[in-house]
Amino acid sequence: MPATLSVVFMGTPDFSVPTLEALIGHPKFRVDAVVTQPDRPKGRGKKLTPSPVKQIAIGHGIPVLQPEKTREPENVARLSEIKPDYIVVVAYGQILPLSILQIPRLLPVNLHASLLPRWRGAAPIHRAFLAGDTVTGVCVMIMAEGLDTGDVLSRRKTEITEEDTAGRLHDRLARTGAVLMAETLVEYAGGGIVPERQDGSLATYAAKLGHADFIIDWTGPAESVSRKIRGLSPFPGAMTSLGGKIIKPLFAKVAAREGTLGEPGAALGVSGDGISVACGAGSVVITELKPEGKPAMAAHAFTLGHKVCVGDKFSRPDGL
């Protein structure tokens, strides 16, 4: 194994950053280039804004490539000239063609936020939450032409608890994956890992979220309502309506698991903890929410400016 391993890193959002930083700071790796999505308009002024990965790369003086399509001949040629040992992909945002996958001397590898073959695809963190999974994790896998079908090099598990949100789980998996990626690349280069073939018969698919996924069904049991709210928090946010205005609850804890306490969606009371709401079975307490057109706030703070009475109904937003 050479003294240092050359890496081309491909990633775009915040989830990618811990792995990039781990590789930059590791004595065994030399990040020779970063590939990320082109700058996109952002905010009210629609100003072109670099991705989080680009900002990190620039701060460390690493060359940045931003092709519209990775298969562009110029991009393929530039990566081929680098002759990296690894191409490391973390939430890059494009499917890589064979012309890219064949470039590295050792492997093209990807960090995926699930325990493959469960939740292949675009939204593994949200789907694990919404399905009621109690355990998930991250995998380092060899990239192949199929959708997350490559052999797995390593995996690390984590529990999904009742205190988790999708955002908290996202951040934890990003940190865990960064450590796992660095360890895995060193161990594989030294001949210490035998790739594990996935069992395709066990595969499930993490499809992109659609409008139907966002709507809270208050007729469900308290556990599923809490999980829906936490599994979409803070982004894109589960949706309900109160007084004709859209509300996005951001955290809800189970208050009662059984019994019919009121009409599903009806407010049962307000306290310093938040707003208690009846479900099809049991109830939840909304502790944090985002009102339409306003920033996130504690649910109790919301009730100080918007009176919520017992019996007021949370319902499906009109037109959704």
Residue 80's pLDDT band, with cuts at 50, 70 and 90, is: very high
Mean pLDDT across 182-196: 97
Residue 319's pLDDT band, with cuts at 50, 70 and 90, is: low
Residue 143 has pLDDT above 80, yes or no: yes
pTM for this model (two decimals): 0.94
Residue 28's pLDDT band, with cuts at 50, 70 and 90, is: very high
Location of structure tokens 């519209």:
68
CA distance 27 to 4: 7
Mean pLDDT across 242-251: 96
Location of structure tokens 């979220």:
209
Predicted pLDDT of residue 195: 97
Q: Which residue has better confidence, 153 or 43?
A: 153
CA distance 143 to 151: 8
Taking phi over 0 as left and psi of -120 to 50 as alpha, with beta for the rest, 286 belongs to beta
